[in-house]
Amino acid sequence: MAIDKFLVEASHIMMFARSVGDANPVYHDEEYAKKADVGGIIAPPTFAQSSAQFDPNYFLRPKVGGEGWFGSGKEASGAKPSSGSGESGGGGAAMGLHAEQHFEYHLPVKAGDVLSATTKPGNSWEKESKRAGKLKFSESVTEYRNQNGDLVITATGVGVQTERAVDS
């Protein structure tokens, strides 16, 4: 996955913060944020995950026209997902789940920043599990840089493909 332009916008930060139950005004009140230590609206710690919005081929988003989407319509499932970029989530399609996520913060990410991201595969390994059969883990490492070319966040995701649905 490569993302050329990940626009960090105040309204997106506001919506993202709401979705994770965060009422902190530093994510939605510009006047408050300007007077705070951070000096302006900043991104919450897991906001980089929403870079998926800026990946043109992200396969866990229905495309315009809805073609190829594997969720339910008239039938319980539409078409199977074609392989596409989705590594940033660390998760995957039907039986793909997100096992781990790690962020390293090098510089603050603020509203108005324009980030770019490149993802490289990391390690992969297998494990047997009583709850879900054979588990295939794979790691991906995404580097986010700002408009000055400075590294702002390193994100490491671990995805797992399970043999069957996880028993809860």
- Binding of other proteins by 67 (CB under 8 A): no
Given 94, 120, 125, 134, the residue binding other proteins (CB under 8 A):
94
Among 29, 84, 105, 137, binds other proteins (CB under 8 A): 105
Residue type, 122: G
Contact between 147 and other proteins by CB under 8 A: the answer reads no
Q: DSSP letter for 9, please.
A: -
Contact, 64 vs 42, CB < 8 A? no
Residue 21 binds other proteins, judged by CB under 8 A: yes
CB of 158 to other proteins, least distance (A): 8
Which residue shows structure tokens 């994770």? 20
Distances (CA, A) of 65 to 46, 53, 69, 85, 101: 30, 17, 9, 19, 32
Q: Does 141 bind other proteins (CB under 8 A)?
A: no
Q: Are 18 and 27 within 8 A, CB to CB? A: no
Q: Is 6 in the site for other proteins (CB under 8 A)?
A: no
Cβ proximity to other proteins: between 101 and 116 the closer is 101
Q: Is the dihedral of CA 146, 149, 155, 160 positive or negative?
A: positive
Q: In this chain, which stretch among 22-30, 118-126, 134-142, 144-152 interacts with other proteins, using CB under 8 A? A: 22-30
Q: Is 159 exposed, middle or buried (0-12, 13-18, 19+ CB in 10 A)?
A: buried
Residue of the chain from 1, 8, 44, 113 that contacts other proteins (CB under 8 A): 44
Classify burial at 55, counting beta carbons within 10 Å of its beta carbon; exposed 0-12, middle 13-18, buried 19 or more: buried
Using rule CB under 8 A, residue 38 touches other proteins? yes
Question: Least distance to other proteins from the beta carbon of 102, Å?
Answer: 3
Which residues of this protein are in contact with other proteins, per CB under 8 A? Answer: 12, 15-16, 18-22, 24, 26, 36-38, 42, 44-46, 49-53, 58, 60-62, 70-72, 76-77, 89-91, 93-95, 97-105, 108, 156, 164-166, 168
